[in-house]
Chains A and B, each alone.
Chain A
Amino acid sequence: MSQNHTRDESKTTATNEVEDLSLRWFPIGRSDDAAHRHVHHAKLLGRELAVWRADDDYLNVWENRCLHRGVRLSIGHNDGTELKCIYHGWRYASRTAGCTYIPAHPADAPARTICNRTFPAGERYGLMWTTEQGEGSPPEIPALEAGSPFALRSLPFDAPAALIEEHLDQYQSGGEVTVTELGPHNLLLTSDQASIVFFIQPVDSGESVVHSVLTTAPNPQNELVVLHHHARALTALRDRIETVASRLPEPTPLEPALEQIEPTDLDGQTPPSRDEAELRVTVARKWETGEGIKAFELVPLTGQLPTVQPGAHIDVHLPNGLVRQYSLTNRAGEQEHYVIGVKLEPDSRGGSACLHESVREGDVLAISAPRHNFSLRRDALDTILIAGGIGITPLLSMAETLSQGGHPFTLHYFAQSSSHLAFPDRLEELGDACRTHLGLSPEQTGDQLKDILDSYTTSQHVYICGPGPMLDAARDLAEGHRWPESAVHFEYFKNTTEVDKSAEFTISLARSGVTTTVGAGQSILKVLRDQGIAMPSSCEQGACGTCVVGVIKGEPLHQDVYLKPGERASGERIVTCVSRSLSDELILDI
């Protein structure tokens, strides 16, 4: 908006005014205008804003348009953690404004780049504030800092802010008034009776809202009388000012710049990042959340972390050089930090031992952005979540998301004993929806799984995460009980398949126009990277699905545990870190 910082005197005052004002903080409503589960509709300098408070009290100030079809988000639903557009139901997370769910693609995680424009938010003197391009926090007004500020009723005016400013000395507060200018559109009015600070919100070129704050709060019994008195005084002043304004030519409405969303950002593809450890986080809290299980709360060194969707995992780059994957166990709507739960593996190859023993509160870790390869549908009539041991971590997050959205679900949690249950406080909050199965033998586990999966009804989905044998058993049972493959979702901890790397074959990259050879012992992933292709990857053992690419021609040799049987049989996708080719050539869609 203001690339040119030198003031050009030949430009109209209006343009200069907008340039200056875009750096200023302005009130956009009283704090109670953003009521519980409500979306306040505001406008500042011609720009419409959707202002909403999440259940954790976080105040969001967003551009008032859904990225999908431009519908106003101010008519959307505030469900306490997400704002849902009324038109096609796209959901956006509090804090990040990242899209978390697209009902037309219920099985897919929305791309990270689908993110609404946010503006800084602040609350002071009973008012909500924002700034288009400014920094810091709302202004501190000495007269209010020293007193006991009491916000009066804010009043909309059909008049330009500057005109209101000129006439505010006519405010009838009783007796002689003195007006002191405190800043642009910000005045202090004092009389024998009262001392009021006015903040004029320039809504558009010809519309404003006057916010007024008494420096001294009235006696609580008199509050209503005082509010009525000042509402009358301000209304009388409004009548006078609007009469003047109505004689002026109608000003041209302001045209704030809308940020363009690149079409490539909306095609559902996250641009692959070579920088696998792009985020730096501090371990803000480390605690024992179950026997042999430590939880870590990771906060960003700067800025805001990318949006979390339930079922996401991250790569954690450990101080000892190892890279490990952990599911995020964030609560529904928890976007200010990441939470992971780590079980100390008796035969730890150095990952869990390092986190348990070496990493301390205050340490800085490098992590990847969240990867969403185990996404939760929110359109199921019933959802069954089956967790084995530490497999609870993605499923707890899913359970809480379903609970928040009022979707029916049951979480089955298999663990050694009650002391081995992770996040017991959160399990308790789920009430009857959480069922624990403790200390069962493999046979007993199988019987229990049989009960859980014995009948399938339409629009039912099951999500399973746990040790390989349990997962295999659950999948077999589901198949035996006629669960369709599309209703069975799973995430393995690791791939125990013995990977055959012996064959040599050719890969042709259809989009890149490259043909090359994958030699014995090499992975497709490595060869792609050698060709300069920025391929994302995470576990690099065929479990997480991050490095999947499309196959146009050829017969893949699948050696992963990510793809479902139907996906394997179709031969349309391949997990490039472990899988290879049965045919001499594979043509890849990359």
Chain B
Amino acid sequence: MIKLYNYDLSVNCYKQRLMMGILGIDYESIPVDFFPGQEHKSEAFKEVNPLGHIPVIVDGDYTLRDAHAILVYLAAKYDPSGCWYPSDDPELIGELSQWMLFAEGTTNTASAARLHDNLGYAFDIDALRSGAHQLFRVLDEHLWFREREGKDWVCSADHPTIADLAIFPDVMLSEEGGISRLPYPAIRRWTERVRRIEGFTIMPGIQEAASLAI
């Protein structure tokens, strides 16, 4: 069974829980006392990941770190439909990679602001918030034009991909870092669509969306 080095309040660990929930993958959660214990910086944990980050997964004798890389691995290996990581479509996989890098940006701004506000990390909070807003403006406009084309997701496919899952948690918890989503109506609608994906998993601060119809 896959082992996930996990912290419940971590957005990056949540990305893996989300993916494994959607793909119906059973996994074992190994709790890491990220706060206040700083266990991810311990010597013992650095044997698992010398960078001292979570999440890390161990699948048999295969170990992988970094949230977005793990998403790629899980989808490529465990999604027989090939939807979540459409590796046989060059244009789509290009777009997907572009938005995965965008997700690094939202993690390093919006989610970093959350670490500042919630856990007292010493970051330049104004820079983080303004950086997040710049990205959110781009994402809102992108999603708004996607809607005009009848598309629901970050990439141009007619189904969600790991790019949606990589960006969604950073966006969804942005208000915990003082970044309002009020100016981004298209983002708000997209987060609702993500929360309606079958197999969706919640986390503290992220609820399911209302169902469309019964």
Contact = CB atoms under 8 A, between A and B. Distances in A.
Chain B binds chain A: yes
Contacts of A79: 210-211
Nearest to B181: A41
A262 to B, nearest CB: 30
A429 to B, nearest CB: 13
A37 B210 contact: yes
Closest 5 CB pairs of A and B: A77-B210, A156-B183, A406-B214, A33-B185, A41-B182
B182 A37 contact: no
Interface stretch (B37-45, B62-70, B143-151, B160-168): B143-151
A209 B137 CA distance: 13
A41 B184 CA distance: 9
B209 interface: yes
B141 interface: yes
A384 to B, nearest CB: 19
A75 B182 CA distance: 11
A153 B210 contact: no
A283 to B, nearest CB: 33
Interface stretch (A224-232, A482-490, A506-514): A224-232
The DSSP consensus for interface residues of chain A is: mixed
20 contacts: A33-B185, A35-B189, A37-B211, A37-B212, A40-B185, A40-B188, A78-B210, A79-B210, A79-B211, A84-B210, A153-B144, A156-B137, A156-B183, A203-B183, A224-B149, A227-B148, A228-B145, A231-B141, A235-B141, A406-B211
Interface in A389-409: 403-406
A103 to B, nearest CB: 15
Given A38-B189, A40-B185, 5 more contacts: A41-B181, A77-B209, A79-B210, A153-B141, A227-B148
Interface string A160-183: 000000000000000000000000
Interface of B: 137, 141, 144-145, 147-149, 181-185, 188-189, 192, 207, 209-214
Interface in A34-63: 35-38, 40-43, 48
A42 B147 CA distance: 20
Nearest to A34: B185
Nearest to B214: A406
Contacts of A406: 211, 214
A228 B146 CA distance: 12
Give the interface centre of B144, B181, B207 by most chain A CB atoms within 10 Å. B144
B148 A41 contact: no
A388 interface: no
A29 interface: yes
Interface of A: 29-30, 32-33, 35-38, 40-43, 48, 75, 77-80, 84, 86, 153, 156, 203, 207, 209, 223-224, 227-228, 231, 235, 403-406
Contacts of A30: 185
Nearest to B188: A41
A38 B183 CA distance: 16
B105 to A, nearest CB: 19
A30 B185 CA distance: 10
A237 B19 CA distance: 40
Contacts of A86: 207
Nearest to A42: B182
Contacts of B211: 37, 79, 406
A44 to B, nearest CB: 11
B202 to A, nearest CB: 11
B148 A224 contact: yes
A33 B141 CA distance: 13
A41 B185 CA distance: 7
B145 A227 contact: yes
Given A80-B213, A153-B144, A43 B185 contact: no
A403 B214 CA distance: 8
Contacts of A153: 141, 144
A75 B173 CA distance: 13
A214 to B, nearest CB: 15
A299 to B, nearest CB: 28
Nearest to A30: B185
A224 B145 CA distance: 8
Nearest to B137: A156
Nearest to A405: B214
Nearest to A154: B185
A406 B144 CA distance: 31
B183 A209 contact: yes
Contacts of B147: 32
Contacts of B207: 75, 86
Given A38-B189, A41-B188, A86-B207, A404 B181 contact: no
Nearest to A35: B189
Contacts of B212: 36-37
A153 B181 CA distance: 17
Give the interface centre of B137, B147, B182, B185 by most chain A CB atoms within 10 Å. B185
Nearest to B186: A33
A53 B214 CA distance: 17
Contacts of B209: 77
Contacts of A78: 210
Contacts of B144: 153
A38 B192 contact: yes
A154 to B, nearest CB: 8
B185 A29 contact: yes
Contacts of B182: 41-43, 48, 203
Contacts of A41: 181-182, 185, 188
Contacts of A209: 183
A156 B182 CA distance: 9
B73 to A, nearest CB: 33
A158 to B, nearest CB: 8
A80 B212 CA distance: 8
A403 B211 CA distance: 14
Nearest to B147: A32
A374 to B, nearest CB: 24
Contacts of A405: 214
Contacts of A77: 209-210
Contacts of A32: 147
A228 B149 CA distance: 12
A239 to B, nearest CB: 11
B151 to A, nearest CB: 12
A440 B185 CA distance: 57
Contacts of A227: 145, 148
B148 to A, nearest CB: 6
A506 to B, nearest CB: 55
B187 to A, nearest CB: 11
Contacts of B192: 38
Contacts of A42: 182
Nearest to A52: B210
A241 B184 CA distance: 19
Contacts of B213: 37, 80
B129 to A, nearest CB: 12
Contacts of B184: 156
